[in-house]
Structures are given as structure tokens and as C-alpha cells.
Structure 1
Amino acid sequence: MKEILALIEKRKQEFAQLPLFEYMRDKSIDPRQRLSWAPCAAPFIMNFGELNKYCFREEPASNPIQAIINKHTYEDDHHWLWFLEDLEKLELDKTLKFSDALRLLWSEEIKNTRWLNYELYRYAFTATPIQKLIIIEVTEATGNIMFSYAAEVGREIKELTQKECRYFADSHLSVETGHIIGSSDTKQFIDIIELSEETRQEAWELVEKLFECFGKFVNGLLLYTKSHKNFQEKHSLSLV
């Protein structure tokens, strides 16, 4: 299993080089604009709690790996509440007719977010505990990169507006460690898991496919952001 975790770390560092994160680091742009992709990410963020509850979690636990997964799902299934709070603080909480909200969420420009949901459910629904562990590790790795940059932007927003984010915040980053692994004993237990050659190959392919999915998702967020620049025009204040 150590080899698969090393692959995830390698792909994580490559993921961190995607253009969205360069955009999020650009302090010449209003920090609220740098998080204006939030509505595009809503289908994934709002769905993530249920992915944990209904796909990753399996009770009673069938084996020690599933027990580790179950514990993690209880830590990760409620973060969408923080997201809803931040939409208002970012001035992205627009009033829409219900039909317009549905039209937005199922629009062409948000298709990559919906596709990510479908792929995660597809892989997780019949996954073994080892495969679930890999899916969660990749999700944690990509989330850690995203929230490393988002928390920094959140600090800028607090300085600019005196409003403190909860989703795009250091407090959220602190629980998005990049790993499902908590204690050193758990890490050691996972590291020494022996995989058959067939299982190792399947795991390798799963990691590659998942990072492809998350890369497509993140690239879609940047496209959404660049096509919704009205926020930058509406607010003249920025941090440089």
C-alpha cells in the first residue's frame, strides 16, 4: 500500500500546479473574485456529505479498514454547512427563482462538477474497503491543496471585509490534512497492507482516473470564474 500512497503524493504535487491555484495566489485580484468559483463547486460540496454517509460508510464495519473509513466519514459529512455560511460572506448568495437555480446547477458550465459526483459514486458504490480508502485519500489530497490556497484567500477577505469565513478558512484546512490517516498507529497499519499484483494494478489505475476527474473539475472552476468577472467590476477594493 505504501507504493500507492507515494503515487497519490506525487499526483497531489502535480495537481497543485493547475492554473486555478495560480489564479488564487494572484493578489492583484480582489480575494472575493478569487473564490467566485464557489457556486460552480456547489453540487460537489453539497453532495459530499451524502457520499460519506451512503457510499463510504458501512455499518457495522466489516473489517479494520472499513472501521477507519467509518470514523473518517463522521468527520467529513457536515462541512457543507460552513459553505452555505460563506456564500453570504462572499456576496455570492444571490436570490434566484427555484427554476433559475436548477437551471444554473444543471447548466453546461457546471457539468464538470456534476460529472465528478457521478464518477465518485460510480467508483465508490461497489468498492472494496481498500478501494474506498484510495478514493478518500485522493479526495483528501486534492482538498488539502484547494483549502491551503482558499484559507489564505479567506484571511485576506477577513482583513478586507471584517467577515471571517468558515469553509474557506484555516479551521477547515486544519481538518483537511490530506490524509484519512490519523494516528501514527493507523498510518503504520495502512502502510504495511500487502496488495496482490492484480489489486495493486487496479489501485494504480484508480488513482490515475481519480486525479483526472479532480483535474477536470478544477479546470472547470477556473473557466467558470473567468466567465463571471462581474464581481471584480462591482467592487473596486482589492488587496495588493
Structure 2
Amino acid sequence: MSLNFADTLRFFWSNEIQVSRQTFHEIYRCTYKATPIHKLVVIEAIEAIADIFLSTTTLVAKELKVADGVDYKYFGMCHFAIDSNHSMDSVESVESISNIQLEKNVEKEALELVNKMFELFSTFVDVLLDYAKTYEFENSLKEDDSILSVS
């Protein structure tokens, strides 16, 4: 199924997936004016989350491709392979990051940020899963036309 522009906007701005917008605002809040170390921690946490998500969805994407012939490139090996080859994963980057020494208070803050990122994305994925289980996608898009109406 392919969505037209209006249906795509309606979906992205629907109340049911408001948590997706809140997730990214919260990431911004956690990184705005943060130190470079804190920003690096958030980036690495999100990369770890992406690895978990993409490695898990790869099997599902393969099964779906067999069933309907569609290549789900953002959920399968294609995106996982691209995501896994970021420059942060180079030998030099890994070595440089592993040599960073943190003071105890910064280490505590870093762990809190990692936990916060995993909590945010767990909630985000739970909401999307509930949405997928609960709503008939095409009908739910037609129910709320007020999202795109101009006042």
C-alpha cells in the first residue's frame, strides 16, 4: 500500500502516534546545550537501539518479501547494512571512544542518558505496535479529516 501526501501527513500528525513526535522533541531536549560527551552518548545509544531494531525487523522484512514481494528496505538488511557502516564504527573511532575517561558524575549522567534513550524508544515502539494491532490503517486515515482542514 502506498500513501498519498495528504494521508501521509494525516498519519504523521495523528493523535495515535503523537508519541513519535514527543520522542524526537525529548531527544532534542536532552541534547540541546549538552556537552560533546553527552551528545556522543546519545548518538551511541540511538545507534545501539537502531542495531537492535533493524536486526530484529530483518527477519520480518524477509518473511514479508516472500509473502507480498515488496522489498522493505528500511526494515531489512539493506538499511541494517547501511546503518552498520557509519564512520563512528571505524577502528579509529571505536578506539578513540574507548579511550575516553569519564569522571564519576559524568559517567552517572551518561548512564542516565542511555537509559532515557532506551526508555523513549521502548515507549515509541510500543505505541506503534499497539497502533498496528488496533487500527485498520486505511480506515483510520479517513476518520479524521480535520487534521488537514484550513481554518
Using structure 1 for the length normalisation, give the TM-score: 0.51
Aligned residues: 138
Deviation (angstroms), 1:171: 1.5
Question: Are 1:202 and 2:118 counterparts?
Answer: no
* Structure 1 alignment gaps of length 5 or more: 1-90, 232-240
Deviation (angstroms), 1:181: 3.5
Picking from 50, 73, 76, the partner of 1:169 is: 76
Amino acid at match of 1:198: N
* Structure 2 alignment gaps of length 5 or more: 139-151
Amino acid at match of 2:118: F
Q: CA RMSD in A?
A: 2.4
**Larger helix share, 1 or 2:** 2
Give secondary structure in 1 for the equivalent of 2:34. coil
Using structure 2 for the length normalisation, give the TM-score: 0.78
In the other structure, the counterpart of 1:123 is 30
Picking from 35, 54, 62, the partner of 1:155 is: 62
Deviation (angstroms), 1:156: 1.7
In the other structure, the counterpart of 2:3 is 94
Q: Is the 8 A contact 1:124 1:132 kept in 2?
A: yes
Deviation (angstroms), 1:213: 0.8
Deviation (angstroms), 1:103: 4.3
Residues 111-134 of structure 1 show CA distances to partners (whole Å, capped at 9, x for unaligned) of 111110101111122122211111
